[in-house]
Amino acid sequence: MGKHKPNYFKEYARKNKDRLRRYQRDAKRKRLSEGKCVHCSQERMPNSNSFCKKHWFINVSGSRLGCYTLKGGLFLEQLFKSQEGKCFYTGWEITPGINAELDHTLATNTHPQHKNTKDNVQWVHSYVNKMKRDIPVETFFSVCEAITAKLKKPGLTGT
């Protein structure tokens, strides 16, 4: 068999870790100061401090599904489009980086086996996600119905 070719970049990177880290840090700072995505130099979303749309979806995929990959980001973007940019529960318009949040239908603290399951998520308005938290969907619906029924009673102002 032929000789193994040396990987010069790996060798350089090993010897110059600190120098490369400084370069990467400075490059990110420059991109941020120019209003660019920290990862790819594309224009940032107007409502994001760090990301273009593609990297915003990848970041959400990583933080909520444990999958910081293009594939995960594309899945979430496609899910967002399939919901037509509307909250799964209310139908309100939602905007990435402003009020769009990823909800796990089955809460991850009570169903950890479903944390990284793609069919366990949907896009919701941030208000709704804060109200639902980790309760089951059926319980959430019952609570919403109870609130609505009480507010419909005569003499209630809702305050």
pLDDT in tens, 85-140: 999 999 999 999 999 999 988 766 666 666 666 788 999 999 999 999 888 888 99
Q: CA distances (Å), 41 to each of 23, 30, 34, in order?
A: 15, 10, 9
> In 3D, which of 91, 69, 82 has the Cα closest to residue 121?
82
Describe the crossing of helices 70-82 and 53-65 by its angle, rounded to 10 degrees. Answer: 100
Task: For the chain, give the longest Cα–Cα distance.
Answer: 88
The strand pair at 100-104 and 121-125 is best described as antiparallel
Q: Write down the pLDDT at residue 92.
A: 97
Q: Could you read off the pLDDT of 54-77 as tens digits, one per residue? A: 999 999 999 988 889 999 999 999
Length of the chain: 159
Q: In what helix (H) or strand (E) does residue 132 lie, and over which residues does it extend?
A: helix 126-132
Domain boundaries along the sequence of the chain: 10-65, 83-159
Task: Note the pTM of the prediction, 2 decimals.
Answer: 0.76
Q: Write down the pLDDT at residue 116.
A: 67
Q: Write down the pLDDT at residue 31.
A: 87
Question: Residue 30 — left, alpha, or beta (φ > 0 → left; ψ -120 to 50 → alpha)?
Answer: alpha
**In the chain, what are the helix, strand and coil shares in percent, each to the nearest 5?**
50, 10, 40
Q: Write down the pLDDT at residue 88.
A: 95
Give φ, ψ of 92 to 5 degrees. Answer: -65, 150
Q: Could you read off the pLDDT of 18-60 as tens digits, one per residue? A: 888 898 888 888 888 888 999 888 999 988 889 999 999 999 9
